[in-house]
Structure 1
């Protein structure tokens, strides 16, 4: 968990041990070494097992066991509380959190008093379910920084301990600035108009953001270690894209990206495995119709046609007899160009489906995948209203059909005249 990583990092710092994670997608020497070290740290029962790093590893192991199980109840700490614990360990952010709670506490006019100082603004309160809630709290606090300081000064006897120093504000600002691209990516990948290619493309943009952050905060050990820890989590999800060919397919089948984007932005060892996975996926899409073969002319027909027409028919027959060029290779190797619509809408055009009859079906299936599961989860949760006590014998297919039809109707999709099998 994130809390476990934070606790281990603090433990290592107390022993003057610093481990630097080497950025990379997979099979990077630094990453593999760090994984092996972490594995040994959690498995080692005594300091004698490892000589060079025995002391710090034994301390890490002891602290990890303390965090994983509560001393009295031996109960596992939930991931939700772990997430909040990580943020609360950062003192400036913990102060802002407590201030946001204080302003909203019942009794008195705390909320109105703060708004009077800030011109109507307020420090957003974080929570454990809303995306980017800690970022929004920091961003709102920085926008009314003067009001925050003045409000605390006005309540010295009660919340003086929440006063943020100049160093605290600098840390809040740096943290907020680092999280801005994450907030932008979250907003860019939500909604019904977003296609699946935006997911891996957004993660690629975050990789470049991390590289810039490592250079920007090179002189700050505290910020470097924080960025390194967060990189560990991004790298985990990035590598997960290797397990499903749809991620790479969405990039390769984007008319504006194609193979050229992959060659320019991905590391060389990643490219061929990705193409191989997409090719294997494409091969599962069989041609919907057999290719028409032009029959050779008999002697009588040949005499009745002009020389030019006979030549044209012979050329067409030879071309039809040759195996068709692989649609996938033809598309991804073609020069990319800008489009005025989303890639999904582009592939839905009749012209593209005629030019790439097999590939267009793969592209439509891949690009139709939702980038976020929020909408699907809402529909799933709404099924509880469909399955009342009187309808408890409904089968899964019936429930699925009902929820799909309801969602399509609510979103204005006209399915009249469309065959059930096609749907």
Structure 2
């Protein structure tokens, strides 16, 4: 029955994509650890006529041979032809930072952007985790956790100690060095169990132990990396957009440059990370795909650019796109709804107050009447107050697409771009449940079919109430 279900689901997904004018993709390459199989993913997302963000998995294409840029480009061309998607409809492809993937997208003639979470990974490793004192403390922490991981008796003793001192029985968390935020969670788990570990050491031996200086260093590392972890979670969500990146970088840079009373002993760390952020994200405001998306997000508009020049350049980029798309829209004589002050909830994190601070510094004066041409639409839109960051930008455009038809059409294209390629990574987590030790002889085509059905069958099933 699987081939029949596959064809039914594929037909439905093709129907959903039939009249879509702009789509964005995420892609990644996965290689199995249990058999000689590699897959190249193609996840798509787009905004429908109701300004609802839609997702689908199109392919996890068997990818044989060397992973060269030419092979990537050829495979991508084949996948787009299979789905009858012209390259002119491809808004952007989110991919990792490897050279073969970058060149592969260029060879295929497709606009692409690096995954924001991968870039944050490089920033943290380059700016902080590569420091010798931090690396040494982390190495000892890994040895401590490894000791408990490989000794059930030691873990049992630790759990008894946790209960004795009134702490919940909780396991230490091992990190994965390719995921910097897992290192952050590992440090947090060590700090949470610092007292229990101290009692354990007084009764039992560990392969190594952290010194008082190293414990203090890890506490400072958690303080510095907290905002990075928060932003990583936000840009990795399924609703994150490319529009979120410029505001995130601006807020992060201000956080790192701000001196507080808690900075004693971590100023160098913050300075090192700030330099890494500037270097890795140096051209983010020059990328039209980021700049225009930020302007078209009613939560941000032109408030979160680093200076007035980059904001003006972004506005020019958008104006050129608008004029290219349509010279003039039909006249509309609609009353403008009254401007309202965005709701401000109490700051829930260390970065929320900085977002609000930047927005207040550059709050525009509202205009009273909506105009009609592309230029007038843009001026009116930018002149209005931004919506709250808790509000949904796509819901804003669903309500205002009649007032700003040309802008809305542009927003449906630029806001379709995700912020990271995490969707493809999540896809490959599902593949590992299909291609495993018990099914290591399954063919790549069959694995792709099962994965396609698993990911897309919910699109045709009735929603449960």
Class of the TM-score when normalised by the shorter of the 2 chains: 0.5 to 0.7
2:149 to 104, 108, 125: 104
1:360 matched residue in structure 2: 408
What are the ranges of 5 or more consecutive residues in structure 1 without an aligned counterpart? Answer: 1-78, 294-321, 393-398, 415-423
1:326 matched residue in structure 2: 376
- Aligned equivalents of 1:323 and 1:187: distance in 2? 39
1:155 matched residue in structure 2: 204
2:316 to 272, 276, 283: 276
CA contact (8 A) 1:149 1:164 kept: no
SS at match of 2:274: helix
Write out aligned runs for 1:169-208 (5 A): 169-208=215-254
Which has the larger helix fraction? Answer: 1
- Aligned equivalents of 2:174 and 2:234: distance in 1? 23
Write out aligned runs for 1:96-245 (5 A): 96-106=141-151, 109-119=153-163, 120-156=169-205, 158-159=206-207, 161-165=208-212, 167-212=213-258, 214-216=259-261, 220=265, 223-245=266-288
Shift of 1:230: 1.9
The superposition leaves residues 2-24 of structure 1 with CA deviations (integer Å, 9 ceiling, x where unpaired) of: xxxxxxxxxxxxxxxxxxxxxxx
Q: 1:406 to 1:148 in 2, by over 3 A?
A: closer
Q: 1:168 to 1:370 in 2, by over 3 A?
A: same
2:68 matched residue in structure 1: none
The superposition leaves residues 132-188 of structure 1 with CA deviations (integer Å, 9 ceiling, x where unpaired) of: 1111111111112111112222224x53x41422x2222111111111111111222
Q: Give the alignment's TM-score, normalised by structure 2.
A: 0.52
CA contact (8 A) 1:353 1:360 kept: yes
CA contact (8 A) 1:195 1:343 kept: no
Q: 1:153 to 1:403 in 2, by over 3 A?
A: closer
Q: Are 1:376 and 2:424 counterparts? A: yes
Shift of 1:342: 1.0
CA contact (8 A) 1:258 1:333 kept: no
The superposition leaves residues 308-356 of structure 1 with CA deviations (integer Å, 9 ceiling, x where unpaired) of: xxxxxxxxxxxxxx96643223311233344874102321x2x422111
SS at match of 2:155: helix
Q: Are 1:286 and 2:326 counterparts? A: yes
2:65 matched residue in structure 1: none
- Aligned equivalents of 2:425 and 2:461: distance in 1? 20
2:3 matched residue in structure 1: none
- Aligned equivalents of 1:342 and 1:245: distance in 2? 22
Shift of 1:242: 2.8
Shift of 1:292: 8.0
2:16 matched residue in structure 1: none
Shift of 1:290: 7.0
The superposition leaves residues 239-272 of structure 1 with CA deviations (integer Å, 9 ceiling, x where unpaired) of: 231342122223222223323x24xx63233222
CA contact (8 A) 1:126 1:137 kept: yes
The superposition leaves residues 63-104 of structure 1 with CA deviations (integer Å, 9 ceiling, x where unpaired) of: xxxxxxxxxxxxxxxx9xx87983675233322121111111
- Name the count of aligned residue pairs: 285
Q: Please say which structure displays the higher CA radius of gyration.
A: 1
With 84-93 and 328-337 compared, the bigger mean Cα shift is at: 84-93
- Aligned equivalents of 2:196 and 2:425: distance in 1? 40
Q: 1:282 to 1:407 in 2, by over 3 A?
A: farther
SS at match of 1:368: coil
Q: 1:376 to 1:125 in 2, by over 3 A?
A: closer
What are the ranges of 5 or more consecutive residues in structure 2 without an aligned counterpart? Answer: 1-121, 164-168, 333-371, 436-441
1:86 matched residue in structure 2: 130
RMSD between superposed Cα atoms in Å: 3.9
- Aligned equivalents of 2:396 and 2:373: distance in 1? 27
1:254 matched residue in structure 2: 297
CA contact (8 A) 1:258 1:332 kept: yes
Q: Greater RCO between the two (CA within 8 Å, min separation 6)?
A: 2
Write out aligned runs for 1:41-80 (5 A): none
Shift of 1:363: 0.9
- Aligned equivalents of 1:127 and 1:290: distance in 2? 52
